[in-house]
Structure formats: C-alpha cells, structure tokens
Amino acid sequence: MKPIIQCLVILLLASSPCFSQQDETDSSKTLEEVIIKAYEQNRKLIEVAAPVSFIGQTQLKRFSNTSILPAVNITPGVRMEERSPGSYRLNIRGSSLRSPFGVRDVKIYLNEIPLTDPSGNTYLNQLSYYNFNSIEIIKGPASSLYGAGTGGAVLIHTLPDTWYKGVNIDYTIGSFNNHNINVNVKAGNDAHRNSINYSHQNSDGYRVQTNMRKDVATWESLLKVSDKQSLHAYMSYSDFYYQTPGGLTLAQYNANPRQARPPAGTQPGAVQNKAAIYQKIFIAGFSNEYQFNERWQNVTAVYGSYTDFTNPGIRVYEFRKEPHFGGRTVFTGKKQVGGTTIQLNAGIEAQKGFFNTKDFGNKAGVADSLQLDNNTNLWQYMIFAQADLKLPYGFIVTAGASFNKSSVEFINLLSRPSSTQKRSFENKLPAHFAILKKISNNISVYGSLAKGFSPPTVAEMLRSDGLFGTNLQPQDGTDYELGIRGSLIRGKLYFDINGFLFHLNNTIVQRIDSVGIFYYVNAGSTKQNGIEYYISYELAGHPEHFITSAKIWLSHALHDFHYKSFKQVNNDFSGKSLPGVPEHTIVSGFDITCKPGLYLNFTYNYTDPIYLNDANSDHASSFNLIGARLGYRKSFQKRINLEIFTGAENLTDTRYSLGNDINAAAGRYYNAAPGRNYYAGLGLQWIKN
C-alpha cells in the first residue's frame, strides 16, 4: 500500500492531469459555468439560491462505467447504496428511513417527465449507466415545483449538449464475472437528433444469491420544428433480473459475509426460496416546447409506463402489474422592468395509476396458495407557481408554492364480497422562499426557507402481510438553509458550502416484526441539522504542458440527526440518533491528466459508524475505502476516439456493510459489500463528419 501512495504523491506533485480528446473540462470550471435547470431557472449554479448539486460526465467517468452510485456519492449529503447488484436505494439527508427498498420521498424526473410513479416509488434501476448524461440533485424539500415530498428531487438529463453523428461501443469487464457492453448510435443533425442505445450487463455478485442480468434499450429523438417549436420523444424498455440475498445477523456477517440469509427455524432462507426480482418496464414520453413570443413559452410533457414486477421473496411470492400515465405542463414568462428581470413559472402535473398486486405463499421458489389480491387505484395532481426577481446590485429573489392532492383506493378482491378502502391527502401549501446576493462575479451567498409535505406511499400504507395502514399520517417539515458558493484564486479554488436546520414532524419509519412482515409507523418529530461542503483546487491547468491538468477535491457532510420526540408503546426514543445516517461522511480524491493521453483518478471514502435501530443499541462500524482508475485516451484524425482503462475499488479489502436493513427483526441488519475488486474497459467512438 505504501509504495502505491508514494507513487501517487509523486505524480501529483509533478504537476497535473492528462490530454483527453473527449469534451472533459476541469470539473470545477464545469460546476461554475454549467447551466442549472432546477426550479426552472436555467441559470449558472452561482445564481441558484438553493442547495443544488450537479453531476456531469467528469464525475461519472471517474469510476467503472457500470453504475452511477460512486459518482452520486461524491455529492455531500447524498448517499446511494446497493443492497445487492442493481438494487439501489437513494438517501438525501436521511430520507432512506423510508426507503428500505428502492427510492421513496425523492421525486425523480427523466428529462421533462416524472420517473417517480403515482404510488411514490421510483425504479431507478430501470436505467443503465449510459442513459445518464448529467444529474441535478436538489437537497431538502422541493415541493414548490416538484410535488409532495421532503427528501428532495433529482433531475436526470439524457442527451449531451453538443451533438455529433456516429457510433460508440463500450465494454467493461470486472470481478465476480461482471460484464457490461453498450452500443450507441447517433444519427441526424443538430436540428433533428436521433439516439438509439442498447446496454447489457451481467454479474455473479459478491455474495451467494446475487446473480444479476440487465438489458436496457432506448430510443430518443429531438426535433426542432421551427425557431419557435421543438419536440422531444423518449422510449425505453428494460428487462432486469437480480437475486436478493437478504440481511445477516452480526454473528452470520462475521462468520461469512458472503453467505445469503440462512434458514431460521421453520422459515426458509434466500437460497431455498430462490429470492429474486424479475422486473420489466416500458416507458414512453413526449414533450413539446413552444415559444409564443419573446416573453412567453410553454413546455408540455406526457408519458405512459407499464411495470411487470415479480418477486419470489423469503416469505411471499409477489406479482405486481403497474400501468400508469401522466403529464406536466409549465408556462414561463419573462419581462424586463428597468433594471429588474421578472420570471414567472406556473403549471400543473398529474398522474394516474391502476395497479394490481397478488401475493402467494413461496414454496421453494414456486408460487403456492393465494394470500392477497388487491387492485390499487391512484390519482394525484399538483398546481404550482413561482416568481423570480433578478434585481440590481446582484440580488435574486425566488418565491414559490404548490397545492398537492392525492388519493388511494384499495380494493381487496380476495374477500367475499370484495371490500374497498380509500384515503386522500391534501397538502398544507408548501412554500419556498429564497434570496441570493452576488458578492462578486465569482461568489454568491444565499438563504432559503422551504416547507415540505409528504404523504405515505402505497408501499408504506399496505403492510407486507396485506393489511391496510389506516393510521399512517403524512410527514411535513421546514428547512432553513444558508449557503455560499463560488471561486477564488483566478478560478482555481472552487467551493460550495451550506448549512441547514430541518425539522420534520410525523416522520415515517420502517418496522420489521419477528416473522419478517414490513410495516411503517409515524415516529413523532426529528431534528436534522447539518453542514455540507464541496471544495476543489486546480493544481495545474496548462494544455501545452506534459501534465495538462491536476485537481484535488474534498466532499464532507456533517449530519446531527436526532429524534426530537418519539415514544412507541413502552419505548421512548426521544433524543436518540436517527438510524441509517452517519455523522460524518468524507469523499476526497485527485485527478491527473497528461498530454500523451494518460489519466489517473484516485478516490478516498470515509464513513462514520451508523446506528441500525431506533434504540441505538446496534451499529455498523466505520469504514475507509480507496479506489483508483488509470486510463489512456487517444484521438485519430478527430474522427476516432479510443479509450482503455483499468481500476480497482476497495483496494484495502475492507469488510463493511452497505445498504443496512434498519430496525430489522432478530438483528438481520447487514448486507455485506464487495471486498477488493477490479475492472477494465475499452471504449471506441467513431464520429461522422
């Protein structure tokens, strides 16, 4: 280990990163100059009065080209976890309390359409790594424009800003028989873009019962009809299979972290019941952007989606059919009044779903007797408005609010006669107010107040044993934010620092009983306070030198999250730390690129101990991770670009658990993450003149 570090330090001091034929500018410049679309503002990040983080190609290409997870985890305050290969969970400032599986309480958009379904769930794993061109993450309540929710919002952009015709072929191979191949064909011109993409990935996984296979095919088209109108179409089909190993107790984790959950008494284990997910999703979306005149424009998007979900689990064998559709329209008006620019945004978003869920007993991986047959009818809509004032002397003021309403109807088809239960939720008009002051051309400070309202999702209201949670209430919270971002030393030093005070009421948390039944309760109130910052420094940036660029960077989140008031039966958890949230998370690294085409990315990650239950009686240990990627890029006659790379994750072979099962019965918290693992890849790009 010591010789490796010494070598990296020598490279760093020598002077800096390498030549790249692809469009990969230094990320600090990208972050300072990139146009942020969050809150419909379409401004540089330095003019956005909100805790928004941007992830571009520079961050995405630092790792193995198989998952966005490590790139997302560079963002302070954001934690993405993989409980088994391809099974993602996203935590923005502690929101994984509600996300034992999948993504909840975080609204996600794919271009202009909602990727989050009307039940409140998001199948983020329906996309491949190559479907992400850039990602914007809004931390904290974003209800003023993005609907009911307290965990934040994520905006995914799929098309690159610069267009070219050509073909990309990428292949990555790695430990545990991991193979990933992607083919992308781009046709047309800047006014009529067509992109067809196919991605295949398979892996045996680190643990027993973690095989996976994933196929994703997409077609995307952008047509500029005229100077006033453009049309955007997106279609995707994903076929995904992955096995689920289940959580381990501490004794099982220490004895053999790679094992799947073993049988316990009369209850079979993950292998015996062939626990796995079979997931097929089709989505089609269309949007129209129309410029009425120099002041007014409209963007309207509609979509339809169908999910076929099969889950032979340890306790039940579940089948779900989830068709849904929806749309969103936003009107934007701008006017100049003296030295003030006024922008108004207003619109409507609505979604409708017709779900059916059937649960059977699981007898050695075969569906047995029918236990549950439910139809779920879902309907939700939101009306929103926002005003932005760009005032003289560098002031920008933003104010917005939304009205949200949702209803859920459960029809129990198994009972005779069938029974129906309904619940509806109406928000408290969550508002967002922010003010920003540009201290100079390169530095701004901002403060904001945002309220959030988040009703329980369908998965939270419907217990895993089929009972309907009639007492579960929405959670609501208020977030106070103060931040500063910008650059110093002629743009070499970039910083983005923010602190927040977030008070949440009726916090929704998960429970798992002794026989593995999942259900949710309201956990009183919580206090979630923190400081988050990202700092980078450009050590060198001379295209004519041997080392063309070099940068070091640091991302740190300090989270002090506690239950303020939480009493359940005879247990009083008031004052206890929130489980699943480390106090300190640090990610740092440096990047070097050299004129011959060589580059090196080095990453270090530290995570504090994590409490695993509300009583804080059990915890997962802290861990340190080191990873690196070394590669070579070469361009031939500006038409063919070649990239070869290799890398490793968890170089010190640290044993740690990622994606812990919070408040799990019998102490089955642990999902062991891979030990030391390697990868190598090849990318070939042909550009047609």
What pLDDT, in 10s, does the model give residues 335-344? 999 889 999 9
- What confidence category does residue 75 fall into, taking pLDDT thresholds of 50, 70 and 90? very high
3-state secondary structure 522-577: ECCEEEEEEEEEEEEEEEEECCCCCEEEEEEEEEEEEEEEEEEECEECCEECCCCE
- Find out whether 111 and 287 touch, Cβ atoms under 8 Å: yes
Q: What is the DSSP letter of 464?
A: T
Residue 117 phi/psi, 5-degree rounding, is -80, 170
What pLDDT, in 10s, does the model give residues 627-683? 999 999 999 988 999 999 999 999 999 999 988 888 888 899 999 999 999 999 999
Is the per-residue pLDDT at 313 higher than 60? Answer: yes
Is the per-residue pLDDT at 305 higher than 90? Answer: yes
Provide mean pLDDT across the span 134-152.
89
**Residue-averaged pLDDT of the chain:** 89
Query: For residue 26, what pLDDT is reported?
Result: 41
- What confidence category does residue 158 fall into, taking pLDDT thresholds of 50, 70 and 90? very high
Residue, of 74 and 519, whose pLDDT is higher: 74
Is the per-residue pLDDT at 175 higher than 90? Answer: yes
Question: Looking at 31-45, 278-292, 435-449, 642-656, which range is the least confident one?
Answer: 31-45
Is the per-residue pLDDT at 19 higher than 50? Answer: no
Is the per-residue pLDDT at 567 higher than 70? Answer: yes
Residue, of 70 and 160, whose pLDDT is higher: 70
pTM for the complete prediction? 0.92
Q: How far apart are CA 495 and CA 531, in angstroms?
A: 13
Is the per-residue pLDDT at 13 higher than 90? Answer: no
Query: For residue 21, what pLDDT is reported?
Result: 36
Tokens 């994590």 belong to 610
Is the per-residue pLDDT at 230 higher than 80? Answer: yes
Provide mean pLDDT across the span 302-308.
98
- Find out whether 249 and 257 touch, Cβ atoms under 8 Å: no
Provide mean pLDDT across the span 617-636.
95
What pLDDT, in 10s, does the model give residues 484-535? 999 999 999 999 999 999 998 887 777 666 555 667 778 778 899 999 999 9
Nearest-5° angle of CA 336, CA 161, CA 16?
A: 110
Query: For residue 530, what pLDDT is reported?
Result: 96
What pLDDT, in 10s, does the model give residues 249-261? 999 999 999 999 9
Is the per-residue pLDDT at 30 higher than 90? Answer: no
What pLDDT, in 10s, does the model give residues 99-136? 666 687 889 999 999 999 998 889 999 999 999 999 99
Query: For residue 519, what pLDDT is reported?
Result: 75
Query: For residue 524, what pLDDT is reported?
Result: 79
Query: In percent, how much of the chain has pLDDT > 90?
Result: 69
Burial (0-12, 13-18, 19+ Cβ within 10 Å), 379 = middle
What pLDDT, in 10s, does the model give residues 445-479? 999 999 988 888 877 777 655 556 667 888 888 99
- 596-624 b/e with 16+ CB inside 10 Å = b? ebbbbbbbbbebbebbbbbeeebbbeebe
Question: Looking at 30-44, 289-303, 403-417, which range is the least confident one?
Answer: 30-44
How many residues would you count in the chain?
689
Residue closest to 118 by CA, chosen among 379, 426, 462:
379
Q: How far apart are CA 617 and CA 574, in angstroms?
A: 14
Is the per-residue pLDDT at 263 higher than 60? Answer: yes
Is the per-residue pLDDT at 331 higher than 50? Answer: yes
* Helix (H) or strand (E) run with residue 255 in it: helix 250-255
- Both structure tokens of 2: 């010591």
Query: For residue 467, what pLDDT is reported?
Result: 56
Provide mean pLDDT across the span 50-68.
93
| Domains of the chain listed by start with CATH number | 2-688 (2.40.170.20)
Beta bridge partners of 646: 630, 680
Residue, of 189 and 569, whose pLDDT is higher: 189
- What confidence category does residue 566 fall into, taking pLDDT thresholds of 50, 70 and 90? confident
Q: How far apart are CA 354 and CA 379, in angstroms?
A: 9
Question: Looking at 344-348, 426-430, 591-595, which range is the least confident one?
Answer: 426-430
Is the per-residue pLDDT at 11 higher than 50? Answer: no
- Both structure tokens of 129: 């790594």
